[in-house]
Amino acid sequence: MKTTRPETDASEPGAPPAVAILSEVVRRRREDLGLKQAEVADLAGCSTRFVHTLENGKPTLRMDKILDVLEVLGLDLLVGPGRGRIREVTSRPGQSPQPALPQEDPS
């Protein structure tokens, strides 16, 4: 029996909203840096297909490779108390982190 997941804007059918947020953050950062997917892949030691798949919201990917891509892009993955959601935050020295993307519906 197959379970259904909430619909998202991610290209991967059925990707959870958290994955859509991560994929959008990665894609936007890569584009802001003026890098091609192949360049990020070379720097991260993974395949271009992996970067493409990450940016398109596949919900099951290897965490070590995700972290390699985030490192190349100058992004951190922060973990703290919460409800298991992914949120993009921006912060400046002396300020509390602020959400930078629309947040998931808490229901």
Q: What is the pLDDT of residues 14-45, one digit of tens each?
A: 667 888 889 999 999 999 999 999 999 999 99
Q: Domain ranges in the chain? A: 17-99
Domain 17-99 has CATH 3.30.300.30: no
Question: How high is the pLDDT of residue 9?
Answer: 40
Res 52 pLDDT > 90: yes
Phi/psi at 42 (nearest 5 deg)? Answer: -60, -45
Question: How high is the pLDDT of residue 88?
Answer: 76
Helix (H) and strand (E) counts for the chain? 4, 2
Better pLDDT: 67 or 4: 67
Question: How high is the pLDDT of residue 83?
Answer: 82
Q: What six digits make up the tokens of 49?
A: 């297909």
Res 99 pLDDT > 90: no
Res 6 pLDDT > 50: no
Res 76 pLDDT > 80: yes
Closest CA to 20 of 29, 28, 11: 11
